[in-house]
Amino acid sequence: MSKPRAIEILNEVFGYPAFRGSQEEIVGTLAAGQSLLVLMPTGGGKSLCYQIPALMRDGVAVVVSPLIALMNDQVANLRTAGVHCAAVHSGTPPEETRQIAEDIATGRLKLLYVSPERLVTERFLRFLDHTAVSLFAIDEAHCVSQWGHDFRPEYRRLGLLAGRYPDIPRIALTATADAETRADIKHYLRLENAPEFVAGFDRPNIYYQVVEKNGGKKQLLQFVKRQNGESGIVYCLSRKKADDTAAFLNENGIAAAAYHAGMSMAEREAAQHRFTHEDGLVIAATVAFGMGIDKPDVRFVAHLDMPQSIEHFYQESGRAGRDGLPAESWLCYGLNDYALLRERIQTGGSGEFQKQIELQKLDAMFAVCETSECRRAALLRHFGETIPPCGHCDNCLHPPVRQDATENVRKLLSCIYRAGQRFGAGYITNILRGKADQWIRDNRHEQLSTYGIGANLSDKEWRGIIRQCIGLGYLETDPQHYHALRLTEAAVPVLKGSQTVLLRPPKREKGAERSPKETWLRTEREERLWQALRQWRQTLARAEEIPAYMICGDATLRDLVRKQPHTTDRLHDIYGLGEAKIRRFGAQILAVCQNAAAEGRPSENPAEPFSDGLETPAPAHPRRRELEAALQQWRQQRANEENAAPHTVCPDDSIADLAAFPPAEAGDLATVYGLGSTRTAKYGTEILALCRPFADGLTPEAQRRRRLVRRLTAWCAATAAAENEETFRILSKNTLRALAAKQPHTPEALAAVYGMNEDKTTRYGKAVLEIIRQEAV
């Protein structure tokens, strides 16, 4: 068996056409056995950097990951791609652990995800001593540093791998890379001499805009409406707010779902599944959402509240536009967010040193919100990169006007000082504006010389000035004393009159709201074609049961709209359309383009282009829902008994699949998504008992499809055994199912099926066609 090349794995297993940026070099370096440190922003394709070498090298790759959710996501993704992998953590049942050990011993398992705590136990290390390990990957390596935003002390012990396994290459990966963190990673993980790969942190396709909060939800709605039904993420500070925001968006006609740690695992998985599979869904989430989400066509990320650090902001906003197409980051912030976050940090469980770091990080975030300079430059400076003004962020496109506000700032500082630095923004504003409420009278503050000297400005204007003074470092808030405003050292020269202060006048959101993205869809005709193509892609994706972006990326659709091809020949000029895709989709794409182009006929019938017999998705059958509910109930019960997460008992994808095609016999279980041999051995009988009554209700056509999948699966396993190959490298599960759905009878039709490239058609085409022919008889 020849060793697969990196590019083949990228194409065949992961379905990406080409490496991005420094990926290829990193993969090559690690595959050749060299240790390295990789700093790559979210969305840069970090995981592939070790997953591909893991499949190229002999033995099992041990991947250290800090969160169980993160491990489960990665494992689920890899399994969908047909890779043998597993995670061991506190939620893994003992039988499964034994099975995993067995799979490692026989060399079947290619990747093993573990927590840092488990890896450094003597017991686990002794196990590794006798195991062929291909590489160690240490994900989220910034956890090693107190400067990182997720310090995990046990990460520091991972340095022992260098001494104990000097010949096994190690890769440390992170998306956070300020200078202190980077130095800590190299030191503690003993990578001092390892090459460092820094992928640029700039995300030039993201348009950054920051607006001052003024009825946040309404501002959000306006922003989301401008996105023309694209999918995106809205981050909120609390669970309740995530729920409220999802409900609010739904009420206003925007399909939205909530996601936060207060929901059950099943609910969260359902939301995540909808997000990756539905076009145009908006997720309103807490920071719990996003780790391990690999959706390239997220068009916007909105922050309804201010994030607690630039690292958080960059990681979250970086989930937009991973496909390199224009995307937007929108951040709405107010003074209350800042005060609330300060309070959270102060009252949180961290040690004093850690709190100081967190407060500094919060101040840095606030300063980015308040800045009048280029947002991108301000963000990148934080990661140690210097760039000239970018020319396409809100501040570059609409430079904020700044005015001499020294007089007002002095009034404010003086008022805070005279009132004893014990009061919050609202109270101080009331004194300045000359409002005599009972509290002010009780404190005799109506007698202060600053009482009423700011009556010419509104509450809102004063709040703007206070916020900017905090951003500029003249003021700070004291969370232990009701967010009282206090002067800093920097305020002294201003008070003394030796320094002028330039501030933005209030109300500047208007200008910042126009995004440059709107310019590319200009004519009605282009918009019509864009929508028609998206609809076509969605229908096809559902029929083939794969995410839409796997059919065609947004970049391809956009190029189609721009060039509006009319002949197959012209399709070759379209970005992202290779020979195989043109063969499969060419005729359909041309039909969509023609229909949309026909004057005044905005494709009334979206199913029309599918004259090749592709089915349109039927609404979920009541019996299907009934089975789904029964399976979920069973899973919950099992999870409770085993004290495990429901996901570990049976993934959501498997349940959806079981409900759609209920298995009738044991062999059918092998074709179910994500179920795997371990679960099948453990739960197969119970699952079959639940499903069998529903299996008989299938239509004759569905029954035929199922028989076909069975035969194809059996053939695939036999071929894999004969060729001494992994099964997924013969034909993936997705391909087997696509074959059963389309039942091609000619080599041409066969070549058009998902996953059947030229090589596969040449090697296996005859056998596959023969099986389909026999089944048809």
Question: Can residue 397 be called a binding residue for Zn ion (CB under 5 A)?
Answer: no
Output 397 or 591, the one with its CB closest to Zn ion: 397
Smallest separation, CB 392 to Zn ion (Å): 6
Binding of residue 380 to Zn ion (CB under 5 A): no
Question: Residue from 396, 580, 614, 714 that binds Zn ion (CB under 5 A)?
Answer: 396
Closest C-alpha to 670, from 714, 707, 638: 714
SS3 content of the chain, % helix, strand, coil (to 5): 55, 10, 35
Closer residue to Zn ion in complex, CB, 57/375: 375
Least distance CB 374 / Zn ion (angstroms): 3
* 133: CB partners within 8 A, 6+ apart: 59, 60, 61, 62, 165, 168
The β-bridge relationship of strands 475-478 and 484-487 is antiparallel
55 vs 368 by CB, closer to Zn ion: 368
**Residue 598: enclosing H or E segment and its boundaries?**
none
Q: Is 30 in the site for Zn ion (CB under 5 A)?
A: no
Token duo for residue 452: 């009423």
CB neighbours of residue 444 within 10 Å: 9
Min separation Cβ 518 and Zn ion, Å: 18
Q: How far is the CB of 549 from Zn ion (least distance, A)?
A: 29
Q: Which of 175, 393, 731, 768 binds Zn ion (CB under 5 A)?
A: 393
Stretch that binds Zn ion, among 104-112, 375-383, 448-456, 618-626 (CB under 5 A): 375-383
Residue 210 binds Zn ion (CB under 5 A): no
Could you tell me which stretch among 254-262, 383-391, 629-637, 723-731 binds Zn ion (CB under 5 A)? 383-391
Q: Which residue has the tokens 């989220």?
A: 140
Q: What are phi and psi of 751, to 5 degrees?
A: -65, -20
Beta-sheet strand order (sheet of 133-138)? 85-88, 111-114, 60-64, 133-138, 170-174, 36-39, 196-198
| Tokens matching residue 88 | 């061991």
Question: Considering only CA atoms, which of 604, 404, 397 is closest in space to residue 503?
Answer: 404
Name the nearest CA neighbour of 532 among 464, 588, 488, 469. Answer: 588
Q: How far is the CB of 393 from Zn ion (least distance, A)?
A: 3
Nearer to Zn ion, 282 or 393 (CB): 393
Q: Which stretch binds Zn ion (CB under 5 A): 98-106, 337-345, 395-403, 418-426?
A: 395-403
The C-alpha atoms of residue 375 and residue 388 are separated, in whole angstroms, by 11
Q: Which stretch binds Zn ion (CB under 5 A): 80-88, 282-290, 385-393, 761-769?
A: 385-393
Name which position in 36, 76, 120, 374 contacts Zn ion (CB under 5 A).
374
Pairing of strands 133-138, 60-64: parallel
Using rule CB under 5 A, residue 206 touches Zn ion: no
Q: Which of 138, 246, 390, 649 binds Zn ion (CB under 5 A)?
A: 390
Asked whether position 368 contacts Zn ion by CB under 5 A, the answer is: no
Any residues with CB less than 8 A from the CB of 111 and at least 6 apart, and which?
51, 54, 60, 61, 63, 78, 83, 84, 85, 86
The vertex-188 CA angle with 183 and 193, nearest 5°, equals 65
Looking at residue 577, the DSSP 8-state letter turns out to be: -
Q: Does 550 help bind Zn ion (rule: CB under 5 A)?
A: no
Rounded least distance, CB 520 to Zn ion, Å: 20
Q: How far is the CB of 512 from Zn ion (least distance, A)?
A: 12
Query: CB-based burial of residue 702 (10 Å sphere; 0-12 exposed, 13-18 middle, 19+ buried)?
Result: middle
Nearer to Zn ion, 89 or 392 (CB): 392
Stretch near Zn ion under the rule CB under 5 A, chosen from 180-188, 366-374, 424-432, 751-759: 366-374
738 touches Zn ion by CB under 5 A? no
**# chain residues binding Zn ion, by CB under 5 A:** 5
CB of 137 to Zn ion, least distance (A): 35
In whole angstroms, how close is the CB of 377 to Zn ion at the nearest point?
A: 6
State yes or no: residue 255 binds Zn ion (CB under 5 A).
no
Give the binding range for Zn ion (CB under 5 A) out of 26-34, 185-193, 369-377, 560-568: 369-377
Nearer residue to Zn ion within complex by CB, 393 or 741: 393
Give yes or no for residue 533 binding Zn ion (CB under 5 A): no
Cβ pair 420, 462 in contact under 8 A: no
Binding residues (CB under 5 A) for Zn ion: these are 374, 376, 390, 393, 396
